[in-house]
Amino acid sequence: MNLMTAAPITPSTRDSTSGGGRGPARSVGRHFATIWARAVGDKLVLVSVLAVYGLVIGAGVGALWPPLRDTFADLAQNLPAAFDQILGGISLATPEGWLHAEMLSILAPGFLIAAAIISAGAATAGEEQARTLGLVLSSGVGRTTFLAAKTAAVVTHLLLVSVAMFLGMVIGNASGDMGIAIGALASSALWVFLFGLMYAAIALTLGALLGDRRLSSAITAGIAAVSFVLATFLPLNDALTGWAKVNLWYPYSGNVPVVDGIDGGLAAVMVGIAVVVALVGLVGFRRRADLRG
């Protein structure tokens, strides 16, 4: 049985109208905090592994810059233009280009997608398949409170990985004397967090609607993989460049914060998609007639 929310919620902690108007609010707050804490702890080990890897890679990329700088300066002169385009049009001969190519273009978003799937995939669908969801919902926890707490736990996991990556990049930037502004590194960490938030909303919503952890995780991973291919390779053909923007990877790859800072428009797109998809999940979850509670 999933221990995340399997512990019973006693009648004394159920939503009630006792104690005046503040009773229900306190009860909802306790339910929220309990579910959030257990959800964070349930996947903390796996998410922490991703966070540690992100920190180590960020530090390692910076440490490798001094010995490889001249090599990549020579290599950049001989690379085809298509290769630079795949890497966001940034030369490998620059610290920003090296960091983007080795970490920010694929690894960082991949780590956040993995964290989103690990955390969001188990949020509702994992509970449902473990037969603990009905127990929790029938013990006085509202569906909105349950899903809100699970969403907050997913956001916490994504923040953990993003902050670890930021710290790794800061360490690497200092040890490798890369000279990249701290603000640019923070913007990059925020950018990858927003990207992960979008895919977390997708995984969370699919899990809430389908009730199948593996299926919702597979669909989310499939959307990410197809979007990456479209956003990366369609721009190589001038006739297909416009179509490269019609996918869920372009909002991330369409801007390189380590060089250009945050693009407000694309940031709004990622946040907007996350909010809309999450609301769809909430409405669908609240209306599911096959769930108790």
d(CA 161, CA 166) in angstroms, rounded, equals 9
Confidence (pLDDT) at 232: 86
Q: Which residues of the chain have pLDDT under 70?
A: 1-24, 73, 75-89, 292-293
Could you state, in order of their start, the residue ranges of all structural domains in the chain? 24-287
CA dihedral 97, 103, 109, 114 (to 10 degrees): 170
Q: Which two tokens stand for residue 125?
A: 């669908």
Confidence (pLDDT) at 88: 66
pTM for the model stands at 0.87
Confidence (pLDDT) at 84: 63
Confidence (pLDDT) at 52: 98
